[in-house]
Structure 1
């Protein structure tokens, strides 16, 4: 007897006939209504009586909401693997993770070659399928930075750029019968998908044995390969053979396949909506109940996710994996899962969480919070994953990844009010608003997530004209520490809105914010390089030019210290918030006078062209240390101090951001971000926290007038009072006591609730 412990899944196998093109669509919708998990379609591209299967899957994807879809099985000789990889990933992203893949090596070669494909021998077709799987997996793996090269005999890619990554860990199932194909399943595939009609007595057991042996030889656990089975049958009042009889007979026979032959997914070939309904509403629940009871009596351990039992040893103490809410379990990622490498880190910082939850709705976020607070491990909340401070990931804890909550919608045209999902990125926001001639100031990089920046501050490249991002947040939806969902605005829970704007990570999980955008059809964007040999002098001159400039001008300065015979260089990123190029040029010329000009480029473009994002690749980068300091002016003492930090060689990245302008119009007590008189933010990055702390405290510390918590990795208690002045901190602790009295959200600059 073989039972791999997989959660049971049930689906249908539909004929894609084109006589009534929508019949297959209606059957898929019927399967979804019946509660089935999967709908699959034959793939015979050479059959003129069939719809093209991939086109049909795409159409059905738009006509359904929940059910997973797959070819059963896709004809690899006629489906170019690299293009198929992009197609699958694209549709998986569009459907929120509902596309699975069944592959076949090809069987009807006369028909296949009639469409121009090369005829392959059985051995060659196995090799070709193996190469195809390697290409699919390789192009989906965006955690690997190198271009993909597969020099196969039948399929090859030569330096292909990877991506896009699918929305979920797309399983690859293979239809196989002969030993060589079965060994390929054991070494490369995620599932075995034969049809019962092609099997003889004992073939399931023999196939399982070959797959298991091949998997173990490849270092895999046999449970990493799901066993699926295409079946035919009919529900009738009396028994007339296998799966030809009443519901009770179906339940017994399918349960026996699960417990004896390890079948985890049952795919019933039917074009009958009545049988589809009975399968989903009566048979599937009864089979699950019977198998669960038998497994409990036998003590069968669950296989968990696709990685199988071999990865159970990678699970972390303090997390009860068996109790993960059902709404989150199918997309949860843990160590050992193939998707883990892509979700464990953030943009700069490495992480090793014990579990990453990926909710798709506010209700699922609430499920995640209610469950996570019962676990004895750290809790991190991630929006875009950029997080310089690294608090959106952790080691051994739980991370709630809000990436799927990325909707952007206009709430009020007159006030330019837009609702932004916390998981959206600022590049997405800028691109969505550009056609309307609107913009929201949002840092300097489009890959940053909305949720973190819109609750911490938002010192951006439109900042002197617009203010901080948080200054224009007028409402939010929040999942509180007890798992309730509340809306906050000036009229609803105003104290919560006050605290979210500057200390949001302490008070709840923000699922969306409403922000009032500014009118900005086009802006002038300048990139300028200056010789920074006289570093302190350049800083003073640049700072004075920025402070005296009209508010339309905001400038950031990145200082590259002298290295390998090259002198120090200051790189300026500057935005003029408008399309008056003459006015912009006049102010840019003043900036250019700060030091010898090495190069300059300027563009008139939408704001979306400024905050572009590189390809998302959150592969971490170790544990960089970052310190920050707000200052009122770049006067000589401050400039000299920053010059000494740069000259020390102990900082790998140094930046000065201009703030002020419109940010100074906001009263100190209007938000939990109280720094309303400073004009510049200084920051530095290093590989050693101790080294950077000693350097920063000695040189910049005497001039610091607050800090920017998103750019701070120093966790010493005094940093909290630098981030929040006394009156602000006192009020914040009172708000914390009301909304998070148990201090559930304590990973991001923790504020202790007032007693």
Structure 2
């Protein structure tokens, strides 16, 4: 049995005492002891310190003076707070102190309860072993270096057991419903637990905060299979699949569940230069892809932001700056390698597993983890890129005019509109657009109508490379994404931007329920692909519209009233998880076909946390998923 041993000390009374305490703690760290607990409550038998440093000040000083040892501070023993007691701390202040120390010394702060057990001063191996049965670190009150040396000798002699791989702080934050010790050997060194120093860098995504119980970061398809085997043993937990972590609707983070982060599967290679065939890992970002393809004079349309990961976008759709000229991102997929729910690695294309290939292009999050995509890139030279800022007192008319110009523009021109709530009767419109042409006169001709339907206040038009537009996205640093809270959004496809839609959209924006409103122009090459070619069936709309607000229920109520104007929705941008959204995203024949494919490739519903396509024939059926699995195995 492994027993973690630490020391308990009282906060010092003077600066001189603090220096002695730091020397003592440094010796404990060098000797391999696991934990130092600071505070009178933990240090039973330690002399009363009297006035001086408080426990939190001492803990911060220890953190700055050491590098490894875990640190604990007991919680207050009283439930109330007496404002007349100068030594007392309100719970909110104590919580903030913990949070601050956790940021300053990531992965080293042990939760107070139940973070450790305290042995009597001078405890020997039998007492340590008895207390260590609970699996918590055992701390022994000390007041001198000699007492630390005694404990160090016990650890060296093996009486207290060998040191575990993770610190006391990390082990104290493990969730009881996750079998951390049962993690596959291939993933042990790359898994991140809540108490690890790097944990904060993997909790959040671009717009969403989270607190997953375990993040797995496979480096190969075989390790993805191992991660899914672990996930199948934890079907009681949420499961998120993450590539770049930019999904608005996706659940690439969660609270208390598992996340499989495929960010390390990010290789980009040319498979066949004559066919412009490239193989790309799901963890690459479109910024990286654009830079790699530009050297060949190629590009792949990929939304409007280069920081987005390949995996999420390429299994959902990909409506971007080149879509009206070259089609959606998924229209360029020629094959995928997928790790299925049962761990098998299969290839899907028009000739291999064609039903899976059909489903992955538009509903991929439900069928497996794509570990490699093969795309046919387009030849793209210099492009015109524009950012225009316009203002108008007549938002309704401006929306109508934008709709008319954008939907009738040549297919080499794609312009998106973003606006928000009018301020003092004036609306600010941000236009982001691209003209797939290297001719300045053509670019000016295409963009001029967009600059004239409202008051032009600012403009930036450049002749550039597609990679340079994608490179405008900021790189994610080692501390990860910084999203927080839960995004609230609704999405739809708009067959045409009618006068009635413009009127109702303007009213919605004036109501204050929406702070972000975007129209992405479609048409052109998007409509060239038959509606039944893949799971993404919405080929004829003129626009895709997204709105974002602060309250999901209020936004749902307002957006539901837009049903007469719209048709379907784009899953990537919708956070409404009501079952009917699935029927909006996929027409009835498409959804029924997807359910049949789901029963074949994921009958146990492992991939269930991102607009789940239930494997049962009828989503409202009372039959359990287990019953469906038994039926499928019997066939």
Tell me the TM-score normalized by structure 2.
0.73
Partners in 1 of 2:305 and 2:495 — Cα distance?
24
What's 2:360 paired with? 500
Residues 370 and 483 in structure 1, CA contact (< 8 A), matched pair in contact too: yes
1:470 aligns with 2:330: yes
Task: State the 1:185 CA deviation.
Answer: 8.3
Residues 527 and 572 in structure 1, CA contact (< 8 A), matched pair in contact too: yes
1:393 aligns with 2:253: yes
Task: State the 1:314 CA deviation.
Answer: 2.5
Task: State the 1:320 CA deviation.
Answer: 0.9
1:739 aligns with 2:598: no
Task: State the 1:335 CA deviation.
Answer: 1.1
The 1:219/1:483 distance shift into structure 2, 3 A limit, reads closer
1:190 aligns with 2:68: yes
1:606 aligns with 2:465: yes
What's 1:321 paired with? 180
Within the candidate set 566, 570, 574, 1:712 is matched to 574
Once the two structures are superposed, what CA deviation does each residue of 1:464-494 show, in whole Å capped at 9, x if it has no partner? 0111101111111111000111111111101
SS of 2:453's equivalent in the other structure is: coil
Residues 111 and 173 in structure 2, CA contact (< 8 A), matched pair in contact too: no
Residues 514 and 547 in structure 2, CA contact (< 8 A), matched pair in contact too: yes
Q: For 1:560-639, what aligned pairs fall within 5 Å after superposition?
A: 560-563=420-423, 565=424, 567-612=426-471, 613-616=473-476, 617-639=480-502
The 1:220/1:743 distance shift into structure 2, 3 A limit, reads closer
What's 1:32 paired with? none
Task: State the 1:312 CA deviation.
Answer: 3.1
Residues 493 and 569 in structure 2, CA contact (< 8 A), matched pair in contact too: yes
Task: State the 1:334 CA deviation.
Answer: 1.4
Partners in 2 of 1:559 and 1:477 — Cα distance?
39
Partners in 1 of 2:213 and 2:404 — Cα distance?
49
SS of 1:343's equivalent in the other structure is: helix
Partners in 2 of 1:428 and 1:5 — Cα distance?
47
Partners in 1 of 2:328 and 2:590 — Cα distance?
17
Partners in 1 of 2:463 and 2:576 — Cα distance?
39
Partners in 1 of 2:4 and 2:195 — Cα distance?
17
Residues 3 and 262 in structure 1, CA contact (< 8 A), matched pair in contact too: no
Partners in 1 of 2:601 and 2:5 — Cα distance?
41
Once the two structures are superposed, what CA deviation does each residue of 1:36-85 show, in whole Å capped at 9, x if it has no partner? xxxxxxxxxxxxxxxxxxxxxxxxxxxxxxxxxxxxxxxxxxxxxxxxxx
What's 2:546 paired with? 683
Once the two structures are superposed, what CA deviation does each residue of 1:198-230 show, in whole Å capped at 9, x if it has no partner? xxxxxxxxxxxxxxxxx9xx9559999xxxxxx
Within the candidate set 152, 157, 164, 1:303 is matched to 164
Gaps (5+ residues) in structure 2? 7-18, 27-60, 71-104, 117-150, 618-635
What's 2:285 paired with? 425
Q: For 1:716-735, what aligned pairs fall within 5 Å after superposition?
A: 716-735=578-597
Q: For 1:262-273, what aligned pairs fall within 5 Å after superposition?
A: 262=155
Within the candidate set 339, 354, 367, 1:479 is matched to 339
Residues 733 and 751 in structure 1, CA contact (< 8 A), matched pair in contact too: yes
Residues 437 and 522 in structure 1, CA contact (< 8 A), matched pair in contact too: no
Residues 372 and 379 in structure 1, CA contact (< 8 A), matched pair in contact too: yes
Residues 533 and 569 in structure 1, CA contact (< 8 A), matched pair in contact too: no
Task: State the 1:754 CA deviation.
Answer: 4.3
Partners in 2 of 1:338 and 1:486 — Cα distance?
36
Q: Which has the higher contact order (CA 8 A, sep 6+)?
A: 2
1:748 aligns with 2:626: no
Residues 212 and 257 in structure 2, CA contact (< 8 A), matched pair in contact too: yes
Task: State the 1:580 CA deviation.
Answer: 2.0
Residues 455 and 503 in structure 1, CA contact (< 8 A), matched pair in contact too: yes
What's 1:335 paired with? 194
SS of 2:198's equivalent in the other structure is: helix
Residues 2 and 259 in structure 1, CA contact (< 8 A), matched pair in contact too: no
Task: State the 1:533 CA deviation.
Answer: 2.1
SS of 2:203's equivalent in the other structure is: coil
Residues 420 and 514 in structure 2, CA contact (< 8 A), matched pair in contact too: no
What's 1:377 paired with? 237
Residues 242 and 262 in structure 2, CA contact (< 8 A), matched pair in contact too: yes
SS of 1:418's equivalent in the other structure is: strand
Partners in 1 of 2:378 and 2:585 — Cα distance?
27
Partners in 2 of 1:640 and 1:338 — Cα distance?
52
Task: State the 1:309 CA deviation.
Answer: 2.4
What's 1:666 paired with? 529
What's 1:654 paired with? 517
Q: Comparing 578-587 with 499-508, which one deviates more in the overlay?
A: 578-587
- Number of residue-to-residue matches in the alignment: 492
Residues 225 and 344 in structure 2, CA contact (< 8 A), matched pair in contact too: yes
Once the two structures are superposed, what CA deviation does each residue of 1:292-341 show, in whole Å capped at 9, x if it has no partner? xx99xx8x697352xx2234342224311110111111111111211111
SS of 2:599's equivalent in the other structure is: helix
Once the two structures are superposed, what CA deviation does each residue of 1:422-463 show, in whole Å capped at 9, x if it has no partner? 000000001111111111111111110000000000001111
Partners in 1 of 2:524 and 2:2 — Cα distance?
70
Partners in 2 of 1:713 and 1:2 — Cα distance?
45
Tell me the TM-score normalized by structure 1.
0.62
Partners in 2 of 1:2 and 1:385 — Cα distance?
37
Partners in 2 of 1:610 and 1:383 — Cα distance?
21
Residues 3 and 259 in structure 1, CA contact (< 8 A), matched pair in contact too: no
SS of 2:260's equivalent in the other structure is: strand
Residues 655 and 682 in structure 1, CA contact (< 8 A), matched pair in contact too: yes
Residues 455 and 504 in structure 1, CA contact (< 8 A), matched pair in contact too: yes
Task: State the 1:390 CA deviation.
Answer: 4.1
Residues 349 and 390 in structure 1, CA contact (< 8 A), matched pair in contact too: no
What's 2:307 paired with? 447
Task: State the 1:391 CA deviation.
Answer: 1.1
Residues 436 and 521 in structure 1, CA contact (< 8 A), matched pair in contact too: no
Once the two structures are superposed, what CA deviation does each residue of 1:533-570 show, in whole Å capped at 9, x if it has no partner? 2112111111111111111001111013223x472111
Task: State the 1:701 CA deviation.
Answer: 2.5
Partners in 2 of 1:408 and 1:534 — Cα distance?
47
Once the two structures are superposed, what CA deviation does each residue of 1:391-413 show, in whole Å capped at 9, x if it has no partner? 11111110000111111001111
Within the candidate set 250, 273, 278, 1:413 is matched to 273
What's 2:389 paired with? 529
SS of 1:701's equivalent in the other structure is: coil
Partners in 1 of 2:285 and 2:109 — Cα distance?
38
Partners in 2 of 1:260 and 1:327 — Cα distance?
34
Q: Comparing 529-538 with 373-382, which one deviates more in the overlay?
A: 529-538
Residues 416 and 517 in structure 1, CA contact (< 8 A), matched pair in contact too: yes
Partners in 2 of 1:261 and 1:413 — Cα distance?
65
Residues 496 and 542 in structure 2, CA contact (< 8 A), matched pair in contact too: yes
What's 2:413 paired with? 553
Task: State the 1:3 CA deviation.
Answer: 5.8
Residues 243 and 263 in structure 2, CA contact (< 8 A), matched pair in contact too: yes
Residues 3 and 261 in structure 1, CA contact (< 8 A), matched pair in contact too: no
Task: State the 1:608 CA deviation.
Answer: 1.0
